[in-house]
């Protein structure tokens, strides 16, 4: 009799586990099927993009939303990866560098002369891989007429408030005299690992 009761209890436990497991799978399928495209996980070149931020929340502050805390606003990061996904990977590296630099403009425009080199660094990096690389044994990876930093600028300073901060920064550089780095030095302005793109 005791054996029969134990068998019955064991059977009920197994049945409960099976039913719970099935309903759990149903909930998972249901949640996935109700997701909208902007909630789906998007991976480009092995990089998981942050979700598209709500424009009202994103534009409510100068810095906007940077949910993965990598120094580039989420809408800009998504735009960079989607825009350059079919180009050489260095385009994304340079564009992300520009995004990080422009964040510094929004944070500390009053330090224009101190951060000027950081803000210009993506341009110098791109110039190297457009024009200078072939003279120093490296591959030319960026098309000659491509202005990656300009494209990111247009996306980054997308509200009047953000543009006003940029012009404040730009105005503080007025009247200064600034040297351009030598062609062979421009590669050093890339803030990412360039060795992965060197000729083997």
Q: Are 196 and 136 in contact (CB under 8 A)?
A: no
pLDDT 10s per residue in the chain (200 long)?
A: 434 443 433 443 333 333 334 333 332 222 222 334 546 788 888 889 999 999 999 999 999 999 999 999 999 999 999 999 999 999 999 999 999 999 999 999 999 999 999 999 999 999 999 999 999 999 999 998 889 999 999 999 999 999 999 999 999 999 888 999 999 999 999 999 999 998 75
48: β partners = 43
Report pLDDT for 2: 39
| Measured distance CA(27)–CA(24) in Å, rounded | 5
Residue 137 burial class via C-beta count within 10 angstroms: exposed 0-12, middle 13-18, buried 19 and up: exposed
Residue with tokens 């709500």: 54
Report pLDDT for 198: 84
Q: Are 153 and 76 in contact (CB under 8 A)?
A: no
Report pLDDT for 39: 63
Report pLDDT for 74: 97
SS (H, E, C) the chain: CHHHHHHHHHHHHHHHHHHHHHHHHHHHHHHHHHCCHHHCCCEECCEECCCCCCHHHHCCCCCCCCCCCCCCCHHHHHHHHHHHCCCCCHHHHHHHHHHHHHHHHHHCHHHHHHHHHHHHHHHHHHHHHHHHHHHHCCCCCCCCCCCHHHHHHHHHCCCHHHHHHHHHHHHHCCCCCCCCCCHHHHHHHCCCCHHHHCCC
Domain ranges of the chain: 2-34, 38-197
Tokens of 48: 């998981």
């Amino acid at each position: 009799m005791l054996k029969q009761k134990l068998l019955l209890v064991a059977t009920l436990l197994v049945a409960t586990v099976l039913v719970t497991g099935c309903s759990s799978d149903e909930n998972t399928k249901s949640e996935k099927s109700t997701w909208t495209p902007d909630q789906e996980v998007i991976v480009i070149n092995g990089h998981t993009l942050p979700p598209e931020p709500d424009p009202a929340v994103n534009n409510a502050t100068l810095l906007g939303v940077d949910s993965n805390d990598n120094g580039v606003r989420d809408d800009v990061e998504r735009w960079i990866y989607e825009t350059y996904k079919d180009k050489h990977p260095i385009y994304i590296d340079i564009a992300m560098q520009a995004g990080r630099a422009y964040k510094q403009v929004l944070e500390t425009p009053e330090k224009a002369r101190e951060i000027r080199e950081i803000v210009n660094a993506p341009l110098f990096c791109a110039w190297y891989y457009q024009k200078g690389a072939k003279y120093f044994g490296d591959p030319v990876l960026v098309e000659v007429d491509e202005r990656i930093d300009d494209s990111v600028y247009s996306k980054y300073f997308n509200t009047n408030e953000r543009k006003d901060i940029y012009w404040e920064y730009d105005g503080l550089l007025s009247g200064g005299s600034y040297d351009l780095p030598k062609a062979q030095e421009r590669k050093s302005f890339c803030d990412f690992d360039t060795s992965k793109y060197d000729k083997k």
